[in-house]
A and B are shown apart, each in its own frame.
Chain A
Amino acid sequence: MLEILQYGFMQRALAAGIMIAIICSTIGTFIVLKRLSMIGDGLAHIALGGIALGLFFKVYPVIAALIFSVVSALGINSLRKAKIYGDVAIAIFFSAGLALAVVLLSLAKGFNVDLFSYLFGSILTVNETDLKMVLGLGILTVGAVILFYKELVYLTFDEESAKVSGIPSDILNNALVVLTAITVVASIKIVGILLVSSLLVVPAATSLQISKNFKETILFSIVLSILSVAVGLISSYYFNIATGGAIVLVSIIFFAAILLYKNWRLR
């Protein structure tokens, strides 16, 4: 079975996939508990605007998407602070990004297959540049979470008390959405814009069913996420199916199985 790991494209796919699994589930745990599950989907569609812009002006689309999503993430946060409901703030930026993408697409009379690969992901075509980008952004994200772990946990659990104890809540809230934006952009190549938010939300939601404390939640979520990527990737190779979809379906199966097990045990 392991002969597939001899292929260079498969090694790159697995390395990139595991890194994405780690950052998505870590950031996802905070996002889900902050009731911001939809922000991943929102930022991914905003990133599409950035990608369209990049393709239109012929610059590396991922860089354009990154700048676009990070700025929008900060915009979403300032709208939230201005007492606009979180989901409305996300919806506004979501619409703006998607609208921009559609307009640019019509101007360019449709792009080539490139756009298609961003929409649905193409983990098997991850090249050296993509892999370096994913690993770089991944290390940055994991490092930031490790450095500010205790403050982020406090802020997620009880924002008001965290403020009273002198934790710089505005800075850290902004940092969290910026990290989310980075995570989303880094993941686009792996599962595609349409499925990015699943990787953020599903493993964390699964882990929440069985964890006793915060640390456990993040660790279980990472394990589930890596398993989903590995099983999804390998089965997509053998059954010749779309990898992004396979990864997400595997993670959904984990979710359903654990939910069923939990309900069965409680009875």
Chain B
Amino acid sequence: MGEKIIEMENINFELDGISILEDINLAIERGEFLGIIGPNGSGKTTLLKIMLGLIKPKTGTIKLFGEHIHHFKDWHRIGYVPQHAINFDANFPVSVFEVVSMGRFSKKGLLRRLGRKDLQIIEEALEIVGMKEYKNKRMGELSGGQQQRVFIARALASEPELLILDEPTAGVDVRVQKEFYDFLEKLNKERKITLVLVTHDIGTVTSRVGKLACMNKRLFPECHPEEFFAGIPVEGMKLVHHLHGE
């Protein structure tokens, strides 16, 4: 048994009286690559936000790296790649380099400027995701897939032990998705980064992650998504499924 990096127990969450998450229990060990799959509205993003302390659950406890979330301070150990394809403002005046450098801020603390070592780590992160030659470009000039890689570089720049990705392949074509999963596999195997990935896309993810959990308000560990979601009429999922089934 490895060290438990995330422990969530008896998590319940509701919004305006409607139950969003029910009785979630989840433990993630160091080195795992966990995929959580579920249709839109199944509570995946909410689960991640609770995991990261962005929203408070109605009931339940969360521990990060063995520490209760209220006392947890080492946020730089966690890299978060939010669902950006949807809410990123293309007109925001920020360069690739500026976005990735944000990844260093949590480690520096308030009032400290970035030093030479930080710049080196930022360059490295850009190199890992293959975006080094774009570092002076404005974010809005990049394609969705490139932007996604920049956000991953930002997460990597904090030198995280755990990387949490929300729908990282949304809006990215199938060929790039394959490369992307190769890349995640490398991070997981070579850099020993624990990965948690959330997606509604049944296709590629199934064969690429170490462990798979299915989600629909409740969390079902080690499931077979094809069977699990067979009876659930969700347009988004079926569509994606067909694309990958070719």
Contact = CB atoms under 8 A, between A and B. Distances in A.
Given A158-B82, A164-B80, A153 B98 contact: yes
B93 interface: yes
Interface string A132-163: 00000000000000011011011001101111
A212 B95 contact: yes
B105 A167 contact: yes
A157 B102 contact: yes
A214 interface: yes
Interface residues of A, number: 26
A165 B98 contact: no
A164 B99 contact: no
Contacts of B78: 164
A2 to B, nearest CB: 35
Given A158-B82, A166-B73, A33 B92 contact: yes
Contacts of A151: 105, 110
B86 to A, nearest CB: 12
A160 B75 CA distance: 13
B167 to A, nearest CB: 14
Contacts of A158: 82, 102
Among B78, B80, B114, B136, chain A packs the most CB atoms within 10 A around the CB of B80
Interface in A188-240: 208, 211-217
A128 to B, nearest CB: 34
Given A164-B54, A164-B75, A154 B92 contact: no
A165 B105 contact: yes
Contacts of B27: none
B105 A150 contact: yes
Given A148-B110, A212-B95, A212-B138, A164 B52 contact: yes
B155 to A, nearest CB: 8
B99 A157 contact: yes
Interface string B36-65: 000000000000000011100000000000
Contacts of A167: 105-106
B94 interface: yes
A157 B94 contact: yes
Among A33, A158, A168, chain B packs the most CB atoms within 10 A around the CB of A158
B158 interface: yes
Contacts of A217: 93
B207 interface: no
A165 B76 contact: yes
Contacts of B82: 158, 160-161
Interface in A1-29: none
Interface in B81-119: 82, 91-95, 97-99, 101-103, 105-106, 108, 110-111, 113-114
Nearest to B73: A166
Contacts of A153: 94, 98, 102
A212 B105 contact: no
B236 to A, nearest CB: 23
A262 to B, nearest CB: 12
A31 to B, nearest CB: 14
B102 A154 contact: yes
B82 to A, nearest CB: 6
A167 B52 CA distance: 13
A249 B50 CA distance: 49
A62 to B, nearest CB: 30
Contact of B54 (A150, A154, A163, A213): A163
A33 B92 CA distance: 7
A214 B105 contact: no
B54 A214 contact: no
Contact of B93 (A147, A150, A163, A211): A211
Contacts of B114: 150
A160 B54 contact: yes
Among A150, A164, A212, chain B packs the most CB atoms within 10 A around the CB of A164
Given A33-B92, A154-B102, A167-B106, A147 B111 contact: yes
Contact of B98 (A147, A148, A214): A214
A214 B102 contact: no
8 contacts: A150-B105, A151-B105, A151-B110, A161-B80, A161-B102, A164-B75, A167-B105, A213-B138
Interface of B: 52-54, 73, 75-76, 78, 80, 82, 91-95, 97-99, 101-103, 105-106, 108, 110-111, 113-114, 136-138, 154, 158
Given A165-B76, A165-B103, 4 more contacts: A165-B75, A165-B102, A213-B136, A214-B95
Q: Which 9 A/B pairs are nearest by Cβ-Cβ distance?
A: A165-B106, A213-B95, A166-B75, A217-B93, A164-B80, A211-B93, A154-B102, A166-B106, A212-B138
